[in-house]
Structure 1
Amino acid sequence: MKLGHFEALRPVCPRCLANRGAAVPLAPGIVEEATGDSVRWGTLVCGDPACAMEYPIIDGAPILVPDLRGWMAANAHLLTMRDDIPAAMEGVLGDGFGPDSAFNATRQHLSSYGWDHYGDLDPDTASAGPAGEAGSVVRCLAAGLDRLGPLPQGPALDLGCGAGRTSFELAARGDGLVLGLDLHWPLLTLARRVMERGEAVFPLRRSGIAYDRRRVEARFAAAGQVDFWIGDALFPPFAPQGFALVAAMNVLDCVASPPALLQAIDLAVAEGGGALLATPFDWSTQATPVEAWLGGHSQRGDDAGRCEAMLARLLTAGAHPQSVGRLHVHGEPLDMPWTVRMHDRALMQYRTHLVMMRALSGKE
């Protein structure tokens, strides 16, 4: 955890924030290992004696989620996973665990995200044919930023940052601090390796459970402005209106409550700031209950199952009981192509819906 980010962003206790809406500052606890400007092993502690929740900092990443014990229990096998397994032995383990194992599911995630985030920097994997160029997330983010226009000075929050490329791109576009927030430990570990060592290392799936380990040089001049923490996009652990920009690239259909995500973004953006939201509306019950799918479950409803229409109402003040209060859509939404690589012979092509938003200032 970079101390400059901690001091400037002043995180609050996510448990107090989620349970009673209180923004209680976190304070440094124990420090087991640190350098001059960062803590690698230690804790952060809630300042309310009635809570006093202790949040660990593991390998430089603070774990700031409301249900800390639940997240830790679900991710224990990932937090303690070795990172020194040779590539060939990783393949042997994958063969032994089998295609339906958590081990191979994690490798598939790392393969798809690693390729999209850093494949454009790898001369051997940058292109997979006319429809399969890596870097969809970079192009989508750039299109949104170009149309959003100038923003006030201040930090940027990258919700659901995944493997981290969007955070580095946000830092390259401005002078402020950037924080990438995600719940997925292996993807955040990939992002932190890029930040600390300038290289992206990930398994790239050939077919079945056959993977090649890719090691891609990924050095970003503005990496010093970036840090990555574990956090819940529905409960970003910060006091209101602390960010000049909030980005949520393909996160809306990956959370339990899409309206709650919109409210979290609305709350986080500073006066006059902006937000970017991209989503293909690719709903799954593993992430979002059917009842929470935005329009995508009721063809007989007012929106006739059109997700875009429901989202537009949620982003229009007073148009829906769960509408945001400050954000308003800036310009016409865009449909952007987004390619997800599954393996050498399988690419999924999405049309992601990209919305640019600005937070109304008191003068508007």
Structure 2
Amino acid sequence: MRLSHFERLRPVCPRCLATRGVAVPLALGIVEAADTGEVHWGTLVCGDGACAMEYPIVDGAPILVPDLRGWMAANGHLLTARADIPAAMEGVLGDGFGPDSAFNATRQHLSSYGWDHYGDLDPATPDGQAGSVVRCLAAGLDRLGPLPAGPVLDLGCGAGRTSFELAARGDDLVLGLDLHWPLLTLARRVMARGEAVFPLRRSGIAYDRQRIEARFAAAERVDFWIGDALFPPFAPQSFALVAAMNVLDCVASPPALLRAIDGMVADGGGALLATPFDWSTQATPVEAWLGGHSQRGDDAGRCEAVLARLLTPGAHPQSVERLHPLGEPVDVPWTVRMHDRAFMQYRTHLVMLRA
């Protein structure tokens, strides 16, 4: 955890925020390992004595989620996973665990996200294949125009490329927030070492270890924390820009995500929202899908129409209060690599917003 980000962004207790709607500042607790400007192992502690929740800092990443014990129980095996497994032995382990194992599901995630975020930096990648997330972000930033000074929040940052690109487009701090520990670990390695290392799927459960040089001039202004996009652990209106690239259909409550973004953006600031409306019950209950389950309703199942009303104050019971669309939404092609012979093509819906 970079102290520059901690001191400037002043995170608050996510538990108090989620349960009581109160922004209680966090303070540094124990510091077990640190160097100049960064804490690698330690804790952050809620300043309210009635709560006093301790949030661990693991390998430089503070874990700031409302249900800390629930997240730790679900992800403990990932937090303690070895990082020194040789590439060949990783393949042997993957064969033994089998295609339906959590081990191979994680490798697939790393393969798809790692390739899209950093594959365009590999000379062996054909032009225009990887890098959809970069192109989508650039399209939104170009349309959004000038923004006030201030830090930037990258919600659902995944493998981190968007955070580095946001830093390159501005001159302030950028924070990437995500719940996925392996992806955040990939992002933090790029930040610290200037290289992206991830398993790239050939086919079946055959993977190659990909290593791509990924050095970004503004990396010193980026940090990555574990956090819930529905409960960003910050005081209201803390950011000049909030980006949420393909996150809306990955949360339990899309309206809650919109309200969280609405609350985080400073007056005059902006937000970028991209989504292919690719609903899954693993992430979002059917009842919370934006139009994707109601073909007999007023919007005839059109996700875009429901989202537009949610982004129009007063047009929906759960509408945001401050954000408003800037210009017309655009559709941006987005390619996801599954393996050597399988690529999924999305049309992601990109909305530019101002507060």
TM-score interval, normalised by the smaller of the two chains: over 0.9
Match runs of 1:190-269 below 5 Å: 190-269=186-265
Q: For residue 362 of structure 1, what is the aligned residue in structure 2?
A: none
Match runs of 1:61-80 below 5 Å: 61-80=61-80
Q: For residue 120 of structure 1, what is the aligned residue in structure 2?
A: 120
Matched residues, number? 355
Alpha-carbon spacing, 1:126–1:13, altered in 2? closer, same or farther (3 Å): farther
Structure 2 residue 304 is the aligned partner of structure 1 residue 308: yes
- The answer to whether the 8 A contact 1:119-1:126 is kept is no
Gaps of 5+ in 2: none
Write the distance in 1 (CA, Å) between the matches of 2:108 and 2:37.
34
Q: CA deviation at 1:206?
A: 0.2
2:353 to 352, 357, 363: 357
Alpha-carbon spacing, 1:165–1:25, altered in 2? closer, same or farther (3 Å): same
Write the distance in 2 (CA, Å) between the matches of 1:253 and 1:113.
16
Q: CA deviation at 1:125?
A: 2.8
Q: Report SS of the residue matched to 1:90.
A: helix
Write the distance in 1 (CA, Å) between the matches of 2:143 and 2:284.
30
Write the distance in 2 (CA, Å) between the matches of 1:221 and 1:235.
30
TM-score (norm 1): 0.97
Q: CA deviation at 1:85?
A: 0.3
Deviations, residues 32-56 of structure 1 (Å, cap 9, x unaligned):
0000100000000000000000000
Structure 2 residue 147 is the aligned partner of structure 1 residue 145: no
Letter of the 1:319 partner, please give it: A
Q: CA deviation at 1:313?
A: 0.1
TM-score (norm 2): 1.00
- The answer to whether the 8 A contact 1:295-1:305 is kept is yes
Q: For residue 33 of structure 1, what is the aligned residue in structure 2?
A: 33
Q: Report SS of the residue matched to 1:272.
A: strand
Q: Report SS of the residue matched to 2:234.
A: coil
- The answer to whether the 8 A contact 1:199-1:216 is kept is yes
Q: Report SS of the residue matched to 1:325.
A: coil
Structure 2 residue 268 is the aligned partner of structure 1 residue 275: no
Letter of the 2:111 partner, please give it: S
Q: Report SS of the residue matched to 1:271.
A: strand
Letter of the 1:44 partner, please give it: L
Match runs of 1:49-64 below 5 Å: 49-64=49-64
Q: For residue 96 of structure 1, what is the aligned residue in structure 2?
A: 96
Letter of the 1:341 partner, please give it: R
Write the distance in 2 (CA, Å) between the matches of 1:158 and 1:347.
26
Deviations, residues 139-174 of structure 1 (Å, cap 9, x unaligned):
000000000000000000000000000000000000
Structure 2 residue 104 is the aligned partner of structure 1 residue 108: no
Letter of the 1:65 partner, please give it: V
Q: CA deviation at 1:332?
A: 0.6
Q: CA deviation at 1:126?
A: 4.4
Structure 2 residue 341 is the aligned partner of structure 1 residue 345: yes
Residue identity over aligned pairs, in percent, reads 88
Gaps of 5+ in 1: 360-364
Write the distance in 2 (CA, Å) between the matches of 1:10 and 1:81.
30
Letter of the 1:33 partner, please give it: A
RMSD between aligned alpha carbons?
A: 0.6
